[in-house]
């Protein structure tokens, strides 16, 4: 099976390429420099050359706050770039796996979101990613849409690495305690996606590590597992204003994973433990 991965230099993309190479299939990873998804001719050229069986579309504009003032670029990448990838996938008969986000929901629910619950993104980032979902569904006949949340891995900037860095610089940290979600380790997400694309069980999936926490709870767990001593104090979202609104509750129900007979992702704390081991080995 030949697989093209867009966004292959991102934290999820790198782990996808590494995981897929275990199968010894042809894996072709492209970063922004090698593949400009906003240019149709660039996408067609790559897909025509590789003729993949599957395209995993992990490339995205992910700067949530910057998107509020850079709306056109966010849509250019997340919507129109995804349109280009979907068209090329359909032209060459490839399966398409589009990586999406919990930000397609408004966070006003009090129960986990199922795959077919009503979406209502609050900010430009979420709206542009949802536009990419709609274009994927419209233009591809063999698609998987995988929504995930609170992603972290060793190959990128993320909450876990930020907390560890700040703990070296400060005696006390204040972390938001009224946003609830599920942290997701890229290695676990990549494993699920590798299993998913080998099937024809198309549709929308929610995939995050299981269990829930607030950012404050997550920060405390990071320091406990890392053996780091630092005072962590809870604050409200209103005490830490950001340009882009965040969903207060973005827990994802994994109905499609259960219904289609897949193994669910493990608890987020177990993923965190393995991440810290991996990070330690990379640093060493």
Give the active site residues: 125
Sign of CA dihedral 273, 277, 283, 284: positive
Tokens standing for residue 44? 């067609």
Contact yes or no for 257/171 (Cβ under 8 A): no
Nearest to 28 by CA among 224, 45, 65, 234: 45
> Using CA of residue 57, residue 86, residue 127, residue 73, what is the dihedral sign?
positive
Retrieve residue 167's tokens: 């703990």
Residue 9 CB neighbour total at 10 angstroms: 19
- How far apart CA 271 and CA 187 sit, in angstroms, is 8
């Amino acid at each position: 099976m030949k697989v093209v991965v867009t966004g292959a230099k991102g934290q999820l993309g790198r782990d996808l390429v590494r995981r897929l190479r275990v199968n010894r299939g042809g894996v072709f990873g492209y970063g922004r420099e090698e593949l400009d998804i906003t240019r149709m001719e660039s996408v067609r050229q790559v897909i025509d050359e590789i003729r993949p069986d599957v395209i995993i579309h992990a490339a995205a504009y992910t700067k949530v706050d910057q998107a509020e003032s850079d709306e056109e670029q966010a849509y250019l990448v997340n919507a129109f770039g995804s349109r280009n990838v979907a068209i090329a996938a359909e032209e060459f008969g490839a399966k398409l796996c589009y990586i999406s986000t919990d930000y397609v929901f408004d966070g006003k629910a009090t129960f986990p979101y199922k795959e077919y619950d009503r979406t209502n993104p609050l900010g430009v980032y979420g709206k542009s990613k949802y536009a990419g979902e709609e274009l994927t569904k419209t233009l591809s006949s063999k698609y998987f849409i995988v929504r995930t949340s609170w992603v972290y891995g060793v190959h990128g900037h993320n909450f876990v690495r930020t907390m560890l860095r700040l703990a070296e610089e400060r005696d006390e940290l204040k972390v938001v305690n009224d946003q609830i979600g599920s942290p997701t380790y890229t290695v676990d997400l990549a494993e699920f996606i590798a299993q998913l694309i080998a099937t024809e069980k198309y549709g929308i999936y929610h995939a995050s590590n299981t269990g829930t926490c607030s950012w404050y709870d997550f920060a405390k767990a990071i320091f406990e597992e890392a053996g780091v001593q630092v005072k962590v104090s809870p604050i409200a979202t209103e005490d830490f204003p950001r340009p882009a609104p965040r969903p207060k509750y973005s827990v994802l129900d994994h109905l499609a994973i259960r219904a289609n007979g897949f193994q669910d992702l493990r608890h987020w704390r177990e993923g965190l433990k393995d991440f810290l081991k991996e990070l330690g080995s990379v640093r060493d």
